[in-house]
């Protein structure tokens, strides 16, 4: 599997070459601003103590405080977190919100831990990285295997250290402690909006489109539902256990209920079982990778049948696959655009917390719609004008904005 940090730097280099960035700015933006690695003990339910490793990386803060999720996964590592932090910088810049990029991770298997163990792990990890956190400094959010409850524990731990409640230190919180309406659906809603816009440009009617979704967690399942509500037929979905396919269409809500009850989509009645690898190659018009990195590669890109690939996940397509898909006329909606709805509504949540004034869900969704449509149009215009694929276009827009901010601020001291 390709190293995600190598991929992230390669994607940046393509944009830096196109923009003819000065060597100094290029060196500055090519590496993280700061990295923290922590090793901390957690008492498990059986009374034993285990040491866990965690990370928090800030890629760039030229445009504002750093922003980015925290993931709990047995395979996470510092290079993955570096890549995700860099992608967050570009993602925030593409949608033009005043944040830099950050990311965090803890090496653990949350599925093998109790809620009490997860709470103790979260609170100790928060204490270890709290030197970096704050509403004006660095604002975490949910990511793979972290939830609004995990964000509540982070907020509470940080607040206990401060001696007063600090809701704006995290986003993706439960509504009753300062979360935003519309945040839970935001990543998927943003993806659905750019899919709708892209389909219209290609002359593809959504009510005649077949959709495959890889990864049936929060983003994938909600994206399936939202696209289904627009008339699309969901023909295949998967999770970490495997996938299901039914060419006549699946009811995404029924599949979600089945997964909630059984822990997986595998075994859903009247659907054929497929592997995650096979799922990516199913006949469809729109493919939504909503799982992990490195899913569409040089090895399988030639067999992807979709006309649109909408990256609800971070980094699912490798640079080699990008080139193959572009040559085949497949429109890839890159992660830093397609899944930017999550950080956009996280920004709305942060603003609401800072001013102690909250918006209705319809207001949140209307603001998200406006930003996602405008961002899609800007990226598409650059892609057509410069004759590059959408990822490079998105990078050109984002890197230019961050480079200009860095240049305007100058180098301290």
Quickly list H helices, 213-270: 218-229, 252-262
User: For the chain, give me the number of helices (H) and strands (E)?
Assistant: 14, 12
- CA dihedral (346, 349, 350, 354) in degrees, to 10, reads 180
Could you give the 3-state DSSP secondary structure of residue 247?
Answer: strand
**Is 67 marked active-site?**
no
CA distances from 331 to 60, 188, 323 (A): 29, 18, 11
C-alpha 264: how far from chain center = 21
User: CA-CA distance, 212 to 116, in Å (whole number)?
Assistant: 36
* 397, 377 contact by CB (below 8 A): no
Residue 136: how many other CB atoms lie within 10 Å: 10
The dihedral built from the CA positions of residue 199, 201, 205 and 210, taken in this order, carries a sign that is negative
User: CA-CA distance, 367 to 387, in Å (whole number)?
Assistant: 30
User: CA-CA distance, 339 to 313, in Å (whole number)?
Assistant: 7
Residue of 67, 91, 103, 259 marked active site: 103
CA distances from 32 to 57, 59, 406, 410 (A): 7, 4, 14, 17
Could you give the 3-state DSSP secondary structure of residue 27?
Answer: helix
User: CA-CA distance, 134 to 97, in Å (whole number)?
Assistant: 18
> For residue 47, what are its two tokens?
């009374």
* 255, 244 contact by CB (below 8 A): yes
One DSSP character per residue, 99-120 reads -EEEEEEEE--GGGS-HHHHHH
- Angle between helix 390-409 and helix 361-386 axes, rounded to 10 deg: 100
Active site positions, annotated: 103
């Amino acid at each position: 599997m390709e190293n995600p940090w190598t991929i992230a730097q390669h994607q940046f280099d393509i944009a830096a070459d196109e923009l003819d960035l000065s060597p100094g700015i290029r060196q500055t933006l090519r590496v993280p601003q700061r990295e923290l690695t922590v090793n901390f003990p957690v008492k498990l339910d059986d009374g034993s103590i285990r040491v866990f490793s965690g990370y928090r990386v800030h890629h760039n803060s030229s445009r504002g405080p750093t922003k980015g999720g925290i993931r709990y996964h047995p395979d996470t590592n510092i290079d993955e977190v570096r890549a995700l932090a860099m992608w967050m910088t570009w993602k925030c810049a593409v949608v033009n919100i005043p944040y830099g990029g950050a990311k965090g991770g803890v090496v653990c298997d949350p599925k093998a831990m109790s809620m009490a163990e997860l709470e103790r792990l979260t609170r100790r990890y928060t204490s270890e990285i709290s030197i970096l956190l704050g509403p004006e400094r660095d604002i975490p959010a949910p990511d793979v295997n972290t939830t609004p409850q995990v964000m509540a524990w982070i907020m509470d731990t940080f607040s206990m250290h401060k001696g007063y409640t600090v809701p704006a230190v995290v986003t993706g919180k439960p509504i009753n402690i300062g979360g935003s309406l519309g945040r839970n659906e935001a990543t998927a809603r943003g993806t659905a909006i750019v899919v709708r816009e892209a389909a219209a440009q290609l002359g593809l009617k959504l009510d005649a489109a077949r959709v495959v979704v890889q990864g049936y967690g929060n983003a994938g399942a909600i994206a399936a539902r939202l696209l289904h509500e627009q008339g699309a037929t969901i023909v295949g979905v998967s999770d970490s256990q495997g996938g299901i396919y039914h060419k006549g269409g699946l009811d995404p809500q029924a599949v979600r209920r089945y997964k909630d009850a059984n822990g997986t989509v595998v075994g859903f009645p009247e659907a054929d079982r497929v592997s995650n690898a096979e799922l990516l190659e199913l006949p469809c018009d729109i493919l939504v990778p909503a799982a992990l990195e490195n899913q569409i590669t040089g090895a399988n890109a030639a067999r992807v049948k979709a006309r649109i690939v909408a990256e609800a996940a971070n980094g699912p397509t490798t640079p080699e696959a990008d080139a193959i898909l572009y040559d085949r006329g497949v429109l890839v909606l890159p992660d830093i655009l397609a899944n930017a709805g999550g950080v956009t509504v996280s920004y709305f949540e942060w603003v609401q917390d800072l001013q102690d004034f909250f918006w209705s869900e319809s207001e949140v969704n209307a603001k998200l719609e406006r930003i996602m449509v405008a961002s899609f149009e800007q990226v598409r215009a650059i892609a057509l004008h410069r004759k590059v694929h959408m990822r490079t276009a998105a990078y050109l827009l984002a890197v230019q904005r961050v480079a200009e901010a860095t240049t305007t601020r100058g180098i301290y001291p």
